[in-house]
Amino acid sequence: RQAKKLSDYKAPEFTITDVELSFELSPEATALTAVYQVVSASGKAGTLILDGQELKLLSVSLDGQLLNADSYQVTAEQLILPGMPAKAQLELKIELNPKANTALEGLYLSNGAYCTQCEAEGFRRISYYLDRPDVLARFTTHIIADDNTYPALLSNGNLVSSTLLPDGRRHVTWVDPFPKPSYLFALVAGDFDCLKGSYTTGSGREVALEFYVDKGNKQRAHFALESLKRAMLWDEQSFGLEYDLDVYMVVAVDFFNMGAMENKGLNVFNSKYVLADQSSATDTDFFNIESIIGHEYFHNWTGNRVTCRDWFQLSLKEGLTVFRDQQFSADMGSATLNRIDAVKTIRTAQFAEDAGPMAHPIRPQQVLEMNNFYTVTVYDKGAEVIRMLHTLLGQAGFRKGMDLYFKRHDGQAVTCDDFVSAMQDANGRDLTLFSRWYQQSGTPQLKVHSHYDAKKREFKLLMQQHTAGTADQAEKLPLLLPVRLELLAEGKSYPYLLEMTEAEQEFTFAVSQKPIPVLLADFSAPVKLHYQYQMDELLLIARDAKDGVARWDAIQQLWQMQVIAAIDAKNTGAEYLLPGELLEFYRQLLAKPLEDLAFTAELLTVPGYDMVAEQFDEIPVQDLVWVLQNFQQQLATKLVEQWRLCYKSLHPAAYQYQEQHVAKRALRSVCLQYLAFVVGSDELLRQQYQHSDNMTDQLAVLRSCRTASHPLFAELMADFEQRWNNDVLVLDKWFSLSASYPQSSVFDTLEQLTAHPQFSWQNPNRVRAVFGAFYQQNPQMFHSADGKGYQVLADVVLKMDSINPQVAARLVTPLLSWKRYQAQSQLQLKSVLQTMLAKDLSDDLYEKVSKSLN
Ligand code: B3K
Ligand code: ZN
C-alpha cells in the first residue's frame, strides 16, 4: 500500500471550473449525471486522471460525443482519460447504491433520508472527480425525487428552482456561487420537521436559518438555532466576518461518523450535537452543541472561503477553527473552565498520541488514509499552536494577521506556511523558528530549576527544553515556547511572558524576597513541565495565583504527587493516608466555596484515570484505578459532613442552561459523587434521581452509583432504560453507563447490550456508546488481567472494519499503545494486533495496526 507524502505535492495538471450534477434518487439505483468543464493548467492536451471508488460507471462523453469503452481506462481507484483536450466538457453517467453504503462516506441513507459525507476523500464515492482540495469549482446541483417521500431536497448554495414533475417527482436546482473543493459538497433528501429562524448580518443582509430534524424533534432544536445566531454575531464582532449566502441550513442525522460537517451552506450534523432539551440533555450536551454549531459555522471562513491546498494542511482549517470555537465558548461562558477542559484534552489524549505509534506533527508528512489524521494532534494541538501565536502577538496583532490572511487568500486553497506568513507580515515579526511547531511531533519536556540570591535580590530560572524522539521522527530541535509566569511574593503576583528559543536558557528577575514561581500559567505552551514544587508552595499557588488554570494545575500536581506516594506505599504493603494539609484545603473550600462554583467543583475533583496515567512511561493501570478509588473513599469518609452540608446548601432551582445554574449543578454533583462512597446515602441518591427536573442531575446520580459500584445502580439503571427506551440519544447514555461499570459482570453486560433491540452495528453512535465508553471509562475491566477486555475490543474492531472502516480505525486506538503497559498486557495486546494484521484490513485499520507493530 502506498502512503502519500507532503513532499510529493504537485499542482494539478487539469482543473475543473464548473460542475453540474443531476441526481435521480433511488435507494438502490440512484442515477447521477455529472458534467464538468475541464481546463488544462498548462493550456496543453494531456491525460486526465480522476479519482473514483466503488462506482458503477455507465458512460463517458466528451464534448457531447459518447466515448468508446476502449478510449478510457477504469481501475479500482481511477478513471483515466488519455488525450484530454486543453478545454473540454466531460459528462459521466454513474449509478449509485446508497442503501448498501454502510461506511457512511459518499451518498448514504440515514433512517431513510439521503445524505452525504465527502470530507476528506468521499466525493470520489459519488463520482469520478479531481477529488483534492486545490480544485475549486462552481457547483450546480439538480435533485429529482418523489415529492411525498422526500419533501426536502437540499444542496449547497441558493435554491434557484423547484418544479413538480407530472410523475409526482420534484426537480429542484441549487446553485452555489462560491467555488469550492469537492469535500464541501452536500446533498440531503428526506422528510423532516424544519425549525426556521433568521439572522440579519452587520451589513443588514437577511439570512434564513433552517434546522432540519427528524419528525417530532423540532422543539429540541431551539438551543442549536440560538447558538448559531450567537456564533454569527460573535464572528462579526471578533473577526469582522459575515455570512455570505442567503440561507444557512443544518440537518441532523442519526447515522454519522463524527460530530458534524461544515459543507457550504448545508451543514450535516450528528443529531446528538443538535437536539437538546432539559429533560433529555445534560449541561455538557448543551455546551457541546453550542461549541460544535460554532465550530462548523466558523469554518465558513476558516476552511471554506480559504481552504487547504492539500490534506497535509488540515490543521490550517482545523487547528484554527478549534481555536476560534474555544474563544467563542470562553466568551459565552467561563474562560478558565474552558481552558481547563482544553488542557485536559491535550494532557490526556494528545500527549498519549504523541507518545504512541501514530505520533505526527500537526502537519503530517505522510498519510495512507486521510481519515486517520482527523486527530487530537491536528485539531487540539493545532489549536494550541494558534493560541501560542495569539499569545506572542497579542489580541490586536493576531487580528491584524487574520485580516491580512483573508485579504490575501480569500477564494484560495493555501498552506499552513501561508497562514504563518500572514501573521508574520502583518506584525513585522520573524516567525521562522515558530514554524517548527508545524514540522515536529512529540511533547517537549520543560525542566525548570530556580535559585534565589538573597544578597543580590535576584531570582533566577534555569530552563531546559528537550523533546524525545517519536515513532515518526527521531531527531528533534528546540522550539519557541511562550512561557507565562507569575512570581508570587509579598502577597502580590507579578506577571511575565518569557520566550524560550534555545535548548537551555536562564532568566533573571529582580525581587526583594524569594518568590514562588507559577510556571506555564494558562498552559501557555503544550509541554510537560517539571519543577520541584513543595506541597505548601502548591497550596499557596492554588490560593493566590492570578491565573485560574495555574491554580487548578497546582491541585493537579498535588494529586500526582499523592498518586506516586500511594503506589509506593501500596507496594510495600503500607497504608497511605492523604496528608492533613490537603484535607484541610478541601475542608476550607467546602466550608466556603469560591464565588465561582464550577471552578470550586473542578478543584474538589480528584483527577481522572487518563490524567494520572499520562505521567507514567509504563502505566500501572490497576494500581492507579485502586489508588484513585481509595482517594475518593478517603475524602468521602473524612469529610462526609462537609460534603453533606455543601450538597444541602445548594438548593436546586427550576432548570435553566445558564452559567450560574450549571456551576451549582456541577458542585452538587461532585458532592453527590463523594457521598455515594459512604453508607447511608441511598435516600439522597434516590431522591435526586426521582425528583430532579433535568437530565444533568439524573445522570449525576447514575454516574455516582456507577463509580462507587453502589447497590442502587442496577435498580436505577433498569428504571432509566424503561423510561428512555424510545429515545436513542438518551439511551446511548444508558449504554455508556452500562459498559463502564467497573466490575467483571461487565463482560456479560456487553453481550446483552449488543443484543439489545435498540443496538445496531450500523450506527456509529451506538457502537461508540458501548465500546468507546468501555475502553475510555472502564480502565479496570478493559485492562483486566486475563486480557479479555482487549479480545472483546479487537473482535469488535474487526467486525466493524467490514461495516464501517472509519469507526473501526477510531476504536482500535487504545490497543495500539501496547508499549505503555506492563509485560503481561504487552503480550496480550501484541497478540491481538498481530492476529488483526494477518486479516484483510481496510487502509484505515491497516495503517494504524501496522504502525503499532513496527
Ligand atoms: N471537517 C469535519 C471533519 C471531517 C472528518 C472526516 N473524516 C468536521 C469538522 O472538523 O468540523
Ligand atoms: Zn472542523
In angstroms and rounded to an integer, the radius of gyration of the C-alpha atoms of the chain is 28
| C-beta 118 within 6 A of ligand 1 | no
In contact, 449 and 335? CB cutoff 8 Å = no
What pLDDT was estimated at residue 641?
Answer: 98
Looking at the domain assignment, is residue 230 inside a domain? Answer: yes
Q: Is 540 helix (H, G, I), strand (E, B) or coil?
A: helix
Cis status, amide bond into 120, omega within 30 of 0: yes
Looking at the domain assignment, is residue 785 inside a domain? Answer: no
685 and 577, same domain (yes or no): yes
Nearest-angstrom CA–CA distance, 535 and 749: 43
Q: From atom 8 of ligand 1, which residue's Cα is the shortest distance away?
A: 261
In contact, 806 and 844? CB cutoff 8 Å = yes
Candidates 119, 210, 296, 486; catalytic one: 296
218 and 79, same domain (yes or no): no
Q: Is 146 left (phi over 0), alpha (psi -120 to 50) or beta?
A: beta
C-alpha cell at 508: 533573571
CA of 67 to the centre of ligand 1 (A): 37
Which residue in this structure is represented by grid cell 452495528?
A: 761
CA atoms within 13 A on the CB side of 263: 30
Looking at the domain assignment, is residue 854 inside a domain? Answer: no
Q: Which helix (H) or strand (E) is 330 found in, with range?
A: helix 314-332
Q: CB neighbours of 578 closer than 8 A, spacing ≥ 6?
A: 562, 631, 634, 635, 638
Domain harbouring 608, CATH code: 1.25.50.10
Q: What are the tens digits of pLDDT across the range 167-206?
A: 999 999 999 999 999 999 999 999 999 999 999 999 999 9
Q: From atom 7 of ligand 1, which residue's Cα is the shortest distance away?
A: 371
C-alpha cell at 228: 448559531
Candidates 766, 776, 808; CA nearest to 345 is: 776
Q: Is 667 helix (H, G, I), strand (E, B) or coil?
A: helix
Q: Please return the burial class of 60, using the count of CB atoms within 10 Å of its CB with bins 0-12, 13-18 and 19+.
A: buried
Candidates 713, 711, 671; CA nearest to 689 is: 713
DSSP string, 238-260: HH-----SSEEEEEEES--SSSE
Ligand closest to Cα of 120 equals 1
Tell me the residue length of the chain: 854
Instruction: Tell which of 169, 189, 209 closes a domain.
Output: 189
> ipTM score here?
0.99
Q: What are the tens digits of pLDDT across the range 587-607?
A: 999 999 999 999 999 999 999
Which ranges of 507-639 does DSSP label H, i.e. alpha helix?
535-544, 548-571, 580-591, 597-603, 609-613, 621-638
Which residue in this structure is represented by grid cell 502505566?
A: 619
Q: From atom 9 of ligand 1, which residue's Cα is the shortest distance away?
A: 261
| C-beta 261 within 6 A of ligand 1 | yes
| C-beta 844 within 6 A of ligand 1 | no
Atom of ligand 1 minimally distant from the CA of 318: 10
Q: Is 67 left (phi over 0), alpha (psi -120 to 50) or beta?
A: beta
213 and 335, same domain (yes or no): no
Domain harbouring 518, CATH code: 2.60.40.1840
What pLDDT was estimated at residue 741?
Answer: 98
Candidates 671, 723, 677; CA nearest to 697 is: 671
Looking at the domain assignment, is residue 832 inside a domain? Answer: no
Q: What are the tens digits of pLDDT across the range 629-657?
A: 999 999 999 999 999 999 999 999 999 99
Report, in this order, helix, strand and coil percent for the chain, each rounded to 5. 45, 25, 30
| C-beta 374 within 6 A of ligand 1 | yes
Domain harbouring 341, CATH code: 1.10.390.10
| C-beta 295 within 6 A of ligand 1 | yes
Give the DSSP letter of residue 152: E
CA of 301 to the centre of ligand 2 (A): 11
Q: From atom 3 of ligand 1, which residue's Cα is the shortest distance away?
A: 261
C-alpha cell at 90: 466531460
Instruction: Tell which of 249, 271, 300 closes a domain.
Output: 300
Q: Please return the burial class of 540, using the count of CB atoms within 10 Å of its CB with bins 0-12, 13-18 and 19+.
A: middle
CA of 260 to the centre of ligand 1 (A): 7
172 and 212, same domain (yes or no): no
Atom of ligand 1 minimally distant from the CA of 370: 7
Give the DSSP letter of residue 349: I
20 and 96, same domain (yes or no): yes
Q: Is 314 helix (H, G, I), strand (E, B) or coil?
A: helix
Looking at the domain assignment, is residue 271 inside a domain? Answer: yes
What pLDDT was estimated at residue 289?
Answer: 99
What pLDDT was estimated at residue 152?
Answer: 98
Q: Which residues surround ligand 2, an ion (CB under 5 A)?
A: 318, 321
592 and 697, same domain (yes or no): yes
How many domains are there within the chain?
Answer: 5
Looking at the domain assignment, is residue 281 inside a domain? Answer: yes
Q: What are the tens digits of pLDDT across the range 802-834?
A: 999 999 999 999 999 999 999 999 999 999 999
| C-beta 262 within 6 A of ligand 1 | yes
244 and 351, same domain (yes or no): no
618 is known as an active-site residue:
no
Cα 607 to Cα 326, 550, 604, 610, 622, distances in angstroms: 22, 15, 9, 8, 16
pTM over 0.90, yes/no: yes
Atom of ligand 1 minimally distant from the CA of 119: 6
284 and 345, same domain (yes or no): no
| C-beta 120 within 6 A of ligand 1 | yes
> Which of 116, 183, 261, 263 has most ligand 1 atoms within 8 Å of CB, for mutation?
261
Give the DSSP letter of residue 302: B
Nearest-angstrom CA–CA distance, 532 and 182: 53
List, for the chain, all residue ranges whose pLDDT scores fall below the cut of 70: none
Domain harbouring 90, CATH code: 2.60.40.1730
> Which of 104, 105, 116, 119 has most ligand 1 atoms within 8 Å of CB, for mutation?
119
593 and 706, same domain (yes or no): yes
712 and 626, same domain (yes or no): yes
Torsion of CA 788, 791, 797, 801, to 10 degrees: -150
Strand 445-453 relative to strand 247-253, pairing: unpaired
Atom of ligand 1 minimally distant from the CA of 257: 7
Give the DSSP letter of residue 842: -
Q: From atom 2 of ligand 1, which residue's Cα is the shortest distance away?
A: 261
Q: Please return the burial class of 846, using the count of CB atoms within 10 Å of its CB with bins 0-12, 13-18 and 19+.
A: buried
Which ranges of 676-821 does DSSP label H, i.e. alpha helix?
682-691, 695-707, 712-723, 728-739, 746-754, 764-767, 773-777, 779-782, 788-803, 805-811, 813-816
DSSP string, 378-390: IIIIHHHHHHHHH
Looking at the domain assignment, is residue 211 inside a domain? Answer: yes
DSSP string, 795-838: HHHHHHHHH-HHHHHHHTHHHHTGGGS-HHHHHHHHHHHHHHHT
Nearest-angstrom CA–CA distance, 59 and 286: 48
199 and 316, same domain (yes or no): no
Instruction: Tell which of 189, 210, 231 closes a domain.
Output: 189
What pLDDT was estimated at residue 49?
Answer: 98
> Which of 292, 318, 328 has most ligand 1 atoms within 8 Å of CB, for mutation?
318
Looking at the domain assignment, is residue 574 inside a domain? Answer: yes
In contact, 841 and 812? CB cutoff 8 Å = no
In contact, 844 and 103? CB cutoff 8 Å = no
Candidates 182, 186, 13, 20; CA nearest to 92 is: 20
Q: From atom 4 of ligand 1, which residue's Cα is the shortest distance away?
A: 119
Q: What are the tens digits of pLDDT across the range 364-406?
A: 999 999 999 999 999 999 999 999 999 999 999 999 999 999 9
24 and 164, same domain (yes or no): yes
Q: From atom 10 of ligand 1, which residue's Cα is the shortest distance away?
A: 318
In contact, 22 and 139? CB cutoff 8 Å = no
Range of the domain at 526: 447-532
